[in-house]
Structure 1
């Protein structure tokens, strides 16, 4: 695998950004299947490379991996911040494909993330299902509306920063993944394959369970995995391998 730290000036964010990229080393000029891999709330574009063996795992699957940074944005166009949803969904894929031989085909694109990034992955997949063959959440913050009742000052401050006062009433909005699942079912949307996992000892476990219940109630296929583990890198390093094995790869 080739590892590249790609720096460019983002027009959407009006600042310089860094993206970590892994590329398979092949003799032919094929366009690569790509995993768009998102970080959690306290991390950045370097986290997956620093904390896991993603480079080795991706090499085993001949898969390109793009790892952007999204700050504390919850992968939203923030109320008091930058337009990270537009950056992740639109500018980033366009720029990366202009730099590297990455396939645009739906069957060659997958998105995954941990914690806040698990939410980000599912948000993008449900909003743009025609772009991805599969989406995966590892210990994802999948029920944003559940934070509306939080009494933690730090969390309330963060939610206001991201959503404004609307954070108090996220249920039923475009931000609410549970609502988006229901709407997708009602509209007959051809969704990507979905995967979610969480550890038994994870403080955010109930959010993954809520997502799984909503999929079940709406007869939306979901591979859901619970097992030993906490909100920690040892768990995510183990589970990202399971995600990569699960991806619906087409024959090259």
Structure 2
């Protein structure tokens, strides 16, 4: 695998930003890890998103994500978005435009990654789980699957617990409810369309996690709407031991056309 720290300028944000990128590399003599490439000119890609208190380095620092994807022939793009909740902030930067429009286009221009729907995936933890589902539910034409690990899927919890910060991101509760930031509203819209190309969704949460009730509400709503949701729960808190285990399950779940080569 090749690991790259990419620092670049964002026209959307008007500032320099960073992302870490893992790229497939076919190797035969690397000790302790068999690496593979998809064999395609452009690789499938997983946009792997961080949580509220983290940045683009965290998945590499807290898990063995590079080792886990080595045999899959998939690229991993890990961008930094601050505490934005992957939103166009009421007082701040347009991080939603950045993550959903500018970042994929720039990543494809910098690296050999695919723009095909069947090759594009999103995943994340906590705030990043929210961001991953928001990407897939907002753009089912671009993402074939998304995974949320202990996701902050009902952002009303964040709004209630962090009123001042949330107001700078989403505005008022009335601004948020039913908007493009409301995953429950997005889920209803996708279900109403009856699109047979709905993104596959994977959701997991530890039963001791403080976001468990929020996850249960989204699970129940998604299943009632008939969304293609795979749900798992079990013992676990809001911590990296749980996410390190679960990201491996996510990678096994992803509908990659080629698991190895």
- 2:72 alignment counterpart: 61
- 2:201 alignment counterpart: 194
Residue 183 of structure 2 is aligned to residue 172 of structure 1: no
TM-score (norm 1): 0.94
State the 1:147 CA deviation.
3.9
Given that 1:145 and 1:169 are in contact with CA atoms closer than 8 Å, whether structure 2 keeps it comes out as: no
Look up the SS of the partner of 1:180 in the other structure: helix
State the 1:169 CA deviation.
5.1
1 CA distance for matches of 2:97 and 2:140? 16
1 CA distance for matches of 2:177 and 2:157? 8
- 2:53 alignment counterpart: 42
Question: How many pairs does the alignment contain?
Answer: 247
Residue 126 of structure 2 is aligned to residue 115 of structure 1: yes
Give 1:7-22 correspondences, 5 Å limit: 7-22=7-22
Given that 1:35 and 1:110 are in contact with CA atoms closer than 8 Å, whether structure 2 keeps it comes out as: yes
2 CA distance for matches of 1:123 and 1:192? 11
- 2:236 alignment counterpart: 229
State the 1:180 CA deviation.
1.2
Residue 248 of structure 2 is aligned to residue 241 of structure 1: yes
* Aligned partner (choices 92, 95, 106) of residue 95 of structure 1: 106
Look up the SS of the partner of 1:198 in the other structure: strand
CA shift digits 1:170-211 (9 cap, x unpaired)? 332222111211111111132110000000110001111111
Which blocks of at least 5 consecutive residues in structure 1 are unaligned?
none
- 2:191 alignment counterpart: 185
State the 1:59 CA deviation.
0.5
CA shift digits 1:37-72 (9 cap, x unpaired)? 000000000000001000000113221100000100
- 1:161 alignment counterpart: 168
1 CA distance for matches of 2:228 and 2:99? 25
Look up the SS of the partner of 1:140 in the other structure: coil
Larger helix share, 1 or 2: 1
Look up the SS of the partner of 2:98 in the other structure: helix
- 2:5 alignment counterpart: 5
Which blocks of at least 5 consecutive residues in structure 2 are unaligned?
27-36
Look up the SS of the partner of 1:130 in the other structure: coil
TM-score (norm 2): 0.91
Given that 2:46 and 2:75 are in contact with CA atoms closer than 8 Å, whether structure 1 keeps it comes out as: yes
Residue 85 of structure 2 is aligned to residue 79 of structure 1: no
Given that 2:7 and 2:16 are in contact with CA atoms closer than 8 Å, whether structure 1 keeps it comes out as: yes
